[in-house]
């Protein structure tokens, strides 16, 4: 996938592989771009996907080796205002700010939800942020789900943003997550390799699929077992939406408290999934120094771990 500057819009060149060949354009391209099928259909209807000089229709069957240019229009500007929201800042310098995001905080604004986000807080705290993602997601290099807590890195300038994005893509920037899951994972460690796409029955969810999805790879390591529950450390080799949540549910060990993938009663007090972005390691774009940081567990997950160790979960 190649990114091309095209004025105010973003153009992406997609090369069709065996994974997408034979699929309808609206299905295969949506998966490659991580868009909903309806959003992809709208782009196709507007003539924003072309193969050579041919404008594609939704029902076009993708062919192996097709080179398709998709033009994604600039998001409509939103009136995003700085807000004096407290931030748990782990580290900051002239290029980066590393925060420990609270569970329940949305990362960036969207239509109908323009306040109370991490971006609102960053705009108040920082004089400048990288403008690569525009007014909607200034400085945001990677995302965390609303109900996932933990470490995030944000860029204060475009050069830093590009460097960090490249490090994440090349896997030289490393992040680990701590999760509490239901069930007793028998193996000490493993690698989950699947395809992930949007759930056909619920477009707000993701699902493991046999075809038509994007490669998703998660490493996991068991840290502690408690019979009915297991504490695991996860490392992402890819960065798909809801990847850890989907993969652990696929294995049969869904995350405690996950409202989408494990909507069951839990003996623990937690609003959202027991998932925490715990560590971050990267090379500083300006100094070249290798840095590593850790975000302490939030109080709700700390209490869960304490109760598990004391056997207080029946």
**Catalytic residue numbers, as ranges:** 145
DSSP classification of residue 57: -
**Nearest CA among 186, 176, 202, 189 for reference residue 263:** 202
Is residue 104 a contact partner of residue 257, using CB atoms and an 8 Å limit? Answer: no
Is residue 189 a contact partner of residue 222, using CB atoms and an 8 Å limit? Answer: yes
Tokens found for residue 158:
């475009």
**Please, what's the b/e burial string for 136-148 (b: 16 or more CB within 10 A of its CB; e: otherwise)?**
bbbbbbbbbbebb
Query: Using CA of residue 219, residue 225, residue 229, residue 233, what is the dihedral sign?
Result: negative
Is residue 61 a contact partner of residue 24, using CB atoms and an 8 Å limit? Answer: yes
Q: 256 φ, ψ to 5°?
A: -60, 130
Q: Is 272 left (phi over 0), alpha (psi -120 to 50) or beta?
A: left
Beta bridge partners of 2: 13
User: Measured between alpha carbons, how far is 195 from 74 in angstroms, rounded to an integer?
Assistant: 29
- What Cα–Cα distance (Å) separates residue 275 from each residue in 80, 177, 192, 248, 263? 28, 7, 17, 11, 15
Q: Classify strands 214-225 and 229-236 as parallel, antiparallel or unpaired.
A: antiparallel
Establish how many alpha carbons lie within 13 A of residue 298's alpha carbon, considering only the half-sphere containing its beta carbon.
Answer: 27
Is residue 164 a contact partner of residue 153, using CB atoms and an 8 Å limit? Answer: yes
């Amino acid at each position: 996938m190649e990114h091309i500057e095209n004025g105010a819009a973003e153009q992406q060149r997609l090369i069709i592989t065996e994974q997408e060949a034979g699929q309808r354009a609206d299905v295969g391209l949506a998966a490659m771009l991580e868009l909903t099928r309806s959003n992809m259909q709208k782009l196709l209807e507007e003539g924003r996907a072309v193969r050579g000089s041919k404008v594609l229709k939704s029902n076009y069957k993708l062919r192996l080796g097709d080179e398709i240019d998709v033009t994604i229009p600039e998001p409509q500007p939103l009136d995003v205002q700085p807000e004096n929201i407290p931030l748990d800042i782990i580290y900051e310098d002239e290029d980066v700010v590393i925060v420990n995001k609270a569970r329940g905080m949305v990362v960036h604004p969207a239509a109908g939800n323009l306040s109370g986000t991490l971006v609102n807080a960053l705009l108040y705290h920082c004089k400048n942020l990288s403008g690569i993602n525009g007014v909607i997601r200034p400085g945001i290099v990677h995302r965390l789900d609303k109900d996932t807590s933990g470490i995030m890195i944000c860029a204060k300038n475009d050069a830093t943003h590009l460097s960090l994005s490249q490090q994440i893509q090349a896997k030289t920037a490393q992040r680990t997550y701590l999760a509490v899951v239901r069930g007793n994972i028998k193996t000490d460690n493993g690698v989950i390799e699947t395809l992930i796409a949007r759930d056909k029955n619920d477009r707000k969810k993701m699902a493991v699929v046999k075809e038509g999805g994007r490669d998703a790879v998660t490493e996991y390591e068991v840290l502690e077992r408690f019979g009915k529950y297991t504490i695991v450390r996860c490392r992402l080799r890819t960065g798909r939406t809801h990847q850890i949540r989907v993969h652990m549910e696929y294995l049969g060990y869904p995350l405690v408290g996950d409202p989408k993938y494990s909507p069951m009663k839990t003996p623990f007090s937690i609003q959202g999934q027991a998932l925490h972005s715990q560590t971050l390691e990267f090379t500083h774009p300006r100094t070249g120094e290798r840095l590593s940081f850790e975000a302490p567990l939030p109080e709700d997950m700390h209490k869960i771990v304490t109760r598990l160790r004391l056997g207080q979960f029946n």
